[in-house]
Amino acid sequence: MVKTVRTVIATHETEGFRKVTSATTIGIMTAAHWTPTYGDPFEPVPYRPARMPAEESLATAADLRRRMDARRTVRMFSTDPVPEQVLVDAIAVAATAPSGAHQQPWTFVLIEDQETKQRIREAAEEEERISYEGRLGDEWLSALRPLGTDAVKTHLTDAPYLIVVFQQRYFLDEDGTKHKHYYVDESVGIAVGMLITALHLSGLAALTHTPSPMRFLGELLERPQNEKAFAVIPVGYPADDCVVPNLVRKSLDQVLIRR
Ligand code: IYR
């Protein structure tokens, strides 16, 4: 097993208010690394991962393709507990996502408390009722019909965990000065993709749920004003009687074009 130990060894408070220099030990590799702040110089460090033999790449890719094709978005969860560390590890995987200017503009709120889940469900259902009763409009409602969704969101209280993903639209420094974050939607979207991949490959089911509007999440979870809710991800095992819509993915020739 690969063990990751992260030790904060220095915090620079002069020019870099959020600069943290840390030592990370991954197996036998130790590397000092840091989070750049505005205007830091380019400091290249060698990156020489061992090259994977082609045979192994091919076998790994084919296996991942088969395993990921078996993923289904689940809306019917068992209330059975799941090992929390799997979610913590999956969030750590998501947090390795590439991001605009390496600003890592995401926050993951992990919720197990039943009362909090209940409050989220009530607020989400209130919004969803308005949406399904007309706010979405006929075209959108028709697009959703094959998915069988409605305003009742049992997954929000049945799933043993919810992960609420927030995007940090900008960064506020200690003086309250706003700093821009770049490509926030893209960065957080990639991180969520990595999160649901990690959860699936670790044996858990998830739903990428976007109750709309999501403003209530920031208020309920007391997030700062620079954070905007991006998705609510219930995580658990599928219910014993779980069903999913009979959907088929596009074929590879429909999505892959060679030139
Ligand atoms: N947010 C609503 C509606 C909804 C919208 C899309 I686009 C979906 O792919 C699924 C649902 C809901 O969660 O029911």
The model's pLDDT over 218-239, given as tens digits with 9 standing for 90+, comes to 999 999 999 999 999 999 999 9
> What's the number of CA atoms in the CB half-sphere (13 Å) around residue 2?
9
pLDDT of residue 20 exceeding 70: no
pLDDT of residue 15 exceeding 80: no
How does 100-139 read in b/e, with b if 16+ C-beta sit within 10 Å?
A: beebbbbbbbebeeeeebebbbebbbebbeebbeeebeee
- Ligand 1 centroid to Cα of residue 237, in Å, is 21
Q: Quote the CA–CA distance of 237 and 199 in Å, as a whole number.
A: 11
- Ligand 1 centroid to Cα of residue 23, in Å, is 42
Phi, psi dihedrals of residue 92, rounded to the nearest 5°: -65, -35
Residue nearest to atom 8 of ligand 1 (CA): 144
Q: Quote the CA–CA distance of 248 and 208 in Å, as a whole number.
A: 18
> 7 or 193: which carries more pLDDT confidence?
193
pLDDT of residue 1 exceeding 90: no
- End-to-end Cα spacing for the chain: 41
Q: Quick one: average pLDDT of 196-201?
A: 99
Identify which of 210, 216, 230 to mutate to test ligand 1's pocket (most ligand atoms within 8 A of the CB): 210
* pLDDT value of position 135: 95
Within the chain, all domains assigned CATH 3.40.109.10 are found at: 72-255
pLDDT of residue 4 exceeding 90: no
Identify which of 131, 140, 144 to mutate to test ligand 1's pocket (most ligand atoms within 8 A of the CB): 144
The pLDDT-based confidence of 143 (bands split at 50, 70, 90) is very high
Identify which of 135, 145, 149 to mutate to test ligand 1's pocket (most ligand atoms within 8 A of the CB): 149
Residue 149 alpha carbon, nearest atom of ligand 1: 14
Residue-averaged pLDDT of the chain: 88
pLDDT of residue 16 exceeding 60: no
In this structure, the residues whose C-beta lies within 6 A of any atom of ligand 1 are 128, 131, 144, 147, 149, 209-212
Contact yes or no for 139/216 (Cβ under 8 A) = no
* pLDDT value of position 181: 94
| The architecture CATH gives domain 72-255 | 3-Layer(aba) Sandwich (3.40)
Residue nearest to atom 12 of ligand 1 (CA): 211
- Ligand 1 centroid to Cα of residue 80, in Å, is 25
pLDDT tens-place string over residues 94-119: 999 999 999 999 999 999 999 999 99
Residue 209 alpha carbon, nearest atom of ligand 1: 13
- Ligand 1 centroid to Cα of residue 132, in Å, is 9
* pLDDT value of position 36: 65
> 166 or 34: which carries more pLDDT confidence?
166
- Ligand 1 centroid to Cα of residue 63, in Å, is 30
